[in-house]
Structure 1
Amino acid sequence: MKRTRDDERDDEVAVTGGEDGARRPAKHHKPTEGAGTNAHVVAQHYNARPEVGRDRRKDSPILHLKNFNNWIKSILISKYAHRGFHVMDFCCGKGGDLLKWSKAGIRHLVGVDIAAVSIEQAQERYTQGRGNRFQATFFAADCFGVSIYDKLPPGHKLDLVSCQFALHYSFESEAKARIGLENITKSLKTGGHFIGTIPNAYWIVKRLRAADGLSFGNSILTVAFDQRDDYPRFGHKYWFELKDAIDNCPEYLLHFPTFEKLALEYGLELEYKKPFHEIFQEESQNEQHRNLLYRMNVVNDEGTISADEWEVAGLYIAFAFRKVS
């Protein structure tokens, strides 16, 4: 699924208003617990999600989609995480990427997430993990609402920051996006990378415009909006429900051109950005990554995943920024 220049132009206008697009010096917003109105809703949602265990996860109706997402993350981490690295897993959830970090041979991991219950489960998963070759520190904090710098180990410098399937929550407001970027970059070394995965706002808006009403989806996905007339650059809320994963949680469109300009103010330069479908087309040609598809049970016995799972996979993109200053 190649992106064309027409796609990129549409991406630029998919969300309009609110900013002149001019580059300005970074604003330093005071990080307070009250930044934004839905942080507590998101925290409650993920705190309430049960840890079902490995055997129960095999019964998930979106098993292959979850495994596909993990395959994408494995490839992304293998590209940018190297032996001896100091890493921050930003919005780490229950620690689902611990094995990936172990295989990458990192030295130290800092895991932070807004959901305290998820942090407890991540700590437990790390403690019970076999053969962990890295040290890890976990703490709960609103990554987009408060400064986390003073909670990091003293003098800690990061080689890599990873934020998987969570950065779009920061687009509730410009203040939250800036607090998130400051948390991401303040301890990141020059030359270090910030990697992640996010919903593709262009794809979502395109589907909404093609829908008859304010929602669209399939047998496993529902995306619903309150309105479809205005597309502000920040605070454009929608309700996201993915069977056996996310229960009608408020999320926000992340207009990528706006985020790219904002990231540059914090010394981050875009290095990599691709939709999941395009990553699959490219990386499945790599013998090692193709074999990993089968080892991770990404595809079924016919070598495919369901049409609805494949459609949802197309909702996401992966990215990498390099800190240049």
Structure 2
Amino acid sequence: MHFLTNFLRPKIVFTKLCTPKLVKQEIIKKYDFLNRVNFHINYLIILELVNSLSQQKKSITNSLTSCHELPTSCFANVETKETTPESREHSKLPLQKIIIKPGKRNQSKIYHLRNLNNWIKNMLIIEYITKIREHHPSSGDSLRVLEMCCGKGGDLLKYSKQNIAHLICTDIAEISLNQCKKRYYRLAQSCQSCFSAEFFLSDCSRDRLRAQYKSPWLEHHLVSCQFALHFSFESYQQADCMIRNASECLQSGGFFIATIPNANEIMRRLRESSDGRSFGNEYYNLQFLSDTQPPPIFGAKYLFQLEGVVDCLEFLVHFPTLVKLCRKHGLQLDKVNSFSEYFEASSKRGENLLRKTECLQTVYIEKDSKIEENFSHIENFANENQCWSNNYGTLSKPEWEIATLYLVCAFRKCDNTWDDELNPIYNFDS
């Protein structure tokens, strides 16, 4: 902005009637104007948008696999035998030969599932912070992150281990946000050099976050929204506001990462259910409250109940629509994987963390021994590979069934120029 002449700098007059909030909004408006003029003067190039969503190289639908294509991740140094499609529904549950570690065990029925979800978030954060630092070495230790719908702050330690410089946390629930603050203060006291942070109460699907930042022109390198983006798909306006908030202050080349329910998998299971309205197992239940033939793009509402953790209304995310909304705001799809795909792709590099965080339950099996039905996939694996008397780390069938309801996705913020009316024109790769 330094090269703009004085006559381009609008003056802001402060009067006694100006509240701090109004002053901040006025500053944002002026900054938006200057930012557009800035780019308009420097580039003076108008590019055409290239390739619509329908021209993408790969169909999103084909990239989302079903629960019947679960990966095998075995570190027992044995080769798995081929199985027929009919026999492999649960044979590809994650299996890992491990050593039993004595210690306390959480009594939650979905303890290992929750740890696995946490591991996937961790791997996703590590992957994209690494990418940012590789492609933008200048970011160094000055990396800034926005966490939308931060909840109780379960990811604070993850960011601390990645040595970020600044974190902005926002959530709609005041109680959760206060717990997040307390976690941060405890973390800051225990670390010699902890990242700075700011917290504010806000609905990311209705409020403009930028107006609440201490520095509204601050750009982020990474924006994260974990297990929450789908709530914005109640309406187009809410989803559009959520994506705008993710993109608006994201630096070119930065990433927006998220974990969301896999709508394709949900609808597949619904079609196979007995009543066509609900499905689940002993740990979870999903019941539709809206039309399903077909479900609406926005407002496809269902009640989701998860053992001792969740009991609330959620909304399907029509993924092609999410991609289109993101492109509207300059975000290009970089990755989409089902949890099972992402586990298989990441388990090798994340093996140590997988063990450390107790994502997999220890099961010991001997030949001709009886085993619980929820772990019968281990018996099948042992029979096929003739590897008995081993300790295996795995998930129960019901837990894996829940895990495979979700997917990970990531979007990259594209460079842009400006047209004659100072509207952004984004430079997409495809």
Using structure 1 for the length normalisation, give the TM-score: 0.81
Distance 1:57 1:113, change over 3 A: farther
**2:154 corresponds to 1:96:** yes
SS at match of 1:93: coil
Distance in structure 2 (CA, Å) of the matches to 1:273 and 1:64: 24
Deviates more, 1:224-233 or 1:315-324: 224-233
Cα displacement (A) at 1:8: 1.8
- AA partner of residue 220 (structure 2): L
Within-5 A mapping of 1:129-144: 129=187, 130-131=190-191, 133-144=194-205
Name 2:297's counterpart in structure 1.
233
Task: Determine whether 1:263 maps to 2:326.
Answer: yes
| Aligned partners of 2:227 and 2:260 also within 8 Å | yes
- Quick one: distance in 2 between partners of 1:7 and 1:141? 31
Identify the residue that residue 125 of structure 1 maps to in structure 2.
183
Rounded Cα–Cα distance in structure 2 between residues aligned with 1:238 and 1:86: 35
1:105 aligns with one of 150, 163, 167: 163
Q: Which residue of 2 aligns with 1:69?
A: 117
Match of 1:86 among 114, 133, 144: 144
Amino acid at match of 1:142: D
Q: Which whole-Å CA distance do the structure 1 matches of 2:107 and 2:142 have between them?
A: 36
Counterpart for residue 308 of structure 2: 244
Alignment partner of 2:209 out of 148, 164, 172: 148
What is the deviation of 1:80?
1.2
Amino acid aligned to 2:406: Y
Q: In the alignment, what sits opposite 2:251? A: 189
* Contact 2:204/2:245 (8 A) holds in 1: yes
Q: Is the CA contact (8 Å cut-off) linking 1:10 and 1:202 kept in structure 2?
A: no
Q: Closer, same or farther in 2 for the Cα pair 1:279/1:215, shift >3 Å?
A: same
RMSD: 2.0
Percent identity of paired positions between Structure 1 and Structure 2: 43
SS in 2 for 1:181: helix
1-side partners of 2:407 and 2:143: how far apart?
24
Separation (CA, whole Å) in 2 of partners of 1:169 and 1:270: 20
**Is residue 223–residue 239 contact of structure 1 (8 Å, CA) maintained in 2?**
yes
Cα 1:207–1:10 change in 2 (3 A) is farther
What residue is the counterpart of 2:405 in the other structure? 315
Moved more, 309-318 or 220-229: 220-229
Give 3-state SS (helix, strand or coil) of 1:303's partner.
Answer: strand
Q: Residues 257-288 of structure 1: CA distance to partner in whole angstroms, max 9, x if unpaired?
A: 111011101000000111111111122233xx
Q: In structure 2, do the counterparts of structure 1 residues 192 and 218 end up closer, same or farther at CA, with 3 Å as the change threshold? A: same
Counterpart position of 1:178: 240
Which residue does the alignment assign to 1:293? 354
Alignment counterpart, residue 260 of structure 2, candidates 175, 198, 204:
198
- Counterpart in the other structure of 1:212: 274
| Partner Cα separation in structure 1 for residue 116 and residue 269 of structure 2 | 22
Specify which of 196, 219, 225 is matched with residue 163 of structure 1.
225
Q: 1:57 and 1:146, CA in 2 relative to 1: closer, same or farther beyond 3 A?
A: farther
C-alpha contact (below 8 Å) 1:268/1:323 kept by paired residues: yes
Q: Which one-letter code corresponds to 2:245 in the other structure?
A: N
Gaps of 5+ in 1: 12-54
CA–CA separation in structure 1 for the residues paired with 2:160 and 2:308: 27
SS of match in other structure, 2:142 = coil
Which whole-Å CA distance do the structure 2 matches of 1:284 and 1:10 have between them? 19
Count of paired positions: 275
Distance of aligned partners of 1:122 and 1:293 in 2 relative to their CA distance in 1, 3 Å threshold = same
Cα separation, 2, equivalents of 1:10 and 1:120: 39
1:13-52 CA deviation, whole Å, 9 max, x = no partner?
Answer: xxxxxxxxxxxxxxxxxxxxxxxxxxxxxxxxxxxxxxxx
The CA deviation string for residues 188-238 of structure 1, in whole angstroms up to 9 with x for no partner, is: 111110001000000001111111211100111100012432311111101
The answer for unaligned runs of 5 or more in structure 2 is: 1-57, 65-102, 134-140, 363-391, 417-430
> In the alignment, is the contact (CA less than 8 A) between 1:108 and 1:134 conserved in 2?
yes
Q: Which has the larger radius of gyration?
A: 2
Which residue number in structure 2 is paired with residue 47 of structure 1? none
